[in-house]
Structure 1
Amino acid sequence: MLKTLSNLISEYLAKNNTALTKNDLLKIQYSLQVILGDLSKFLILFLIFLSLNELSIFLFSFIILISIRFFFGGIHCKTFSSCLICSVIYFLSILFFSNLPIKLHTNFYLLFLIFSIITTLIFAPCNNGKRPIKNKRLLKILSLISLTFWSILFFRLSNTKICNCIFLSIFLQILQVIILNIKGGISNAKICKSFFNSIN
């Protein structure tokens, strides 16, 4: 449905603007699919958390996600339905963890922060075929700034629910970075193996 709607809009634009090339229309179609898909997912998630009376924690975790993921990159699903399911699981997991009345020792969080910074320095941003990385150094710096901001906020706040929300949001992002780089390493190893096999 999203694809059909984006095609209709791009066809309308093509009829009213003859200067648009075929390549321009393909870019417009893709952009419209992304925008409409994201808006649809946000609306569904908004309604789910509204019904759970947990809208504030959803909006807060959504802001954290956007501010971190935009620079770090992350795992992308191939279809809208799979992306929606993963998004629902993601935000519900954060909600569940945030509501747990637990807060670990400060040293644990400090070690996790150091680990997160090292992971960011080595691996961020993640390669993504849908969004080519044009300035890796800039994105790495912005990733560190974003991570630092949320970490400072975490240590300054005393609200357990908010702190748990920040912690798990960062943890899930760092986990994605590690998974994508392990996956990339396996893919590169397979390419190298195939190359050497072809030589032999």
Structure 2
Amino acid sequence: MIKLISTFITRYLEENNSSLIKTDLLKIQYTLEVILGNLFDFVVILLIFLGLNKVPILLLSYVILISIRPFMGGVHCKTFISCLFVTTMYFIMVMLFTTLAPKLNNSFNIIFFTISFIIVAAYAPCRNLKRPVKNKATLKIISLISLTFWIVVFFTLPNVQICNCIFASIFIQILQIIIINTKGVLSNAKIYKHFFSYTS
């Protein structure tokens, strides 16, 4: 459905704007697919969290996500349905950890965020087959600034749920960076058929 709508709009632009070349049209279609897909995902997930009465957690997690993922990169699913499923599971896992986990040990937190900072400094931004990484140095710097901001917030605020939400969101993001950078190593393993075949 998303692809049909984006294709329809792109063809309309092609027919009514002769200055657009094929590369421009491909970029427009990809951008439309991303925007429409993300919008639909968000609406579906918002309805789920409305039913669970956990909208504040969703909104906080979403803010964290959009402040780090566009710069660090992450796992991309190959189909819209798999993307919706993975995104929904992402927010549900963050919600469960946010509401159920106790306050974590401070020493553990320091170790975790230190390792996270090193991983981001070494491997972000992640490559994306559909959208090649440009300005890698700039994206890396922004990634580190964004991560640092959330680390400062984490150690400043006393609210356990907010801290758990920050921790879980960053943990899943760092996990994606690790997965992408070990994809080649694991390409011959069984996990490839069950996970990597649905992502890019």
TM-score (norm 2): 0.89
Structure 1 position 48 matched with structure 2 position 54: no
Could you say which residue in structure 2 is the equivalent of 1:5?
Answer: 5
SS in 1 for 2:100: coil
How far apart, CA to CA, are the structure 2 residues paired with 1:52 and 1:13?
41
Contact 2:10 2:29 in 1 (8 A): yes
| Residue 32 of structure 1: aligned partner | 32
Which AA in structure 2 matches 1:43?
Answer: V
Structure 1 residue 101, shift from structure 2 partner: 4.8
TM-score (norm 1): 0.89
1:83-141: CA deviation from partner (whole Å, max 9, x where unpaired): 00001110000001100150121111001111111111111111111221112211111
Q: Which amino acid aligns with 2:130?
A: K
Aligned positions of 1:54-133 closer than 5 A: 54-133=54-133
Structure number, greater radius of gyration = 1
Contact preservation (8 Å) 2:72, 2:143: yes
Offset of residue 65 of structure 1:
0.6
- Match in the other structure for 1:178: 178
Long gaps (5+) in structure 1: 188-200
Where structure 2 has 5 or more consecutive residues not aligned to the other structure, the ranges are: 188-200
- How many residue pairs match? The answer is 187
The percent of aligned pairs where both chains have the same amino acid is 56
In structure 2, how many angstroms separate the alpha carbons of the residues matched to 1:53 and 1:71? 30
Which digits, 9 at most, give the CA deviation of each residue in 1:150-199, with x for residues without a partner?
A: 00000111111111000011111111111111114556xxxxxxxxxxxx
- Give the superposed CA RMSD: 1.4
Separation in structure 2 between the aligned mates of residue 51 and residue 92 of structure 1, nearest angstrom: 13
Comparing 13-22 with 104-113, greater Cα deviation is found at 13-22
- Secondary structure of 2:65's aligned partner: helix
Q: Which runs of 4+ in 1 moved over 3 A?
A: 184-187
Q: Which amino acid aligns with 2:158?
A: S
Aligned partner of residue 99 in structure 1, secondary structure: helix
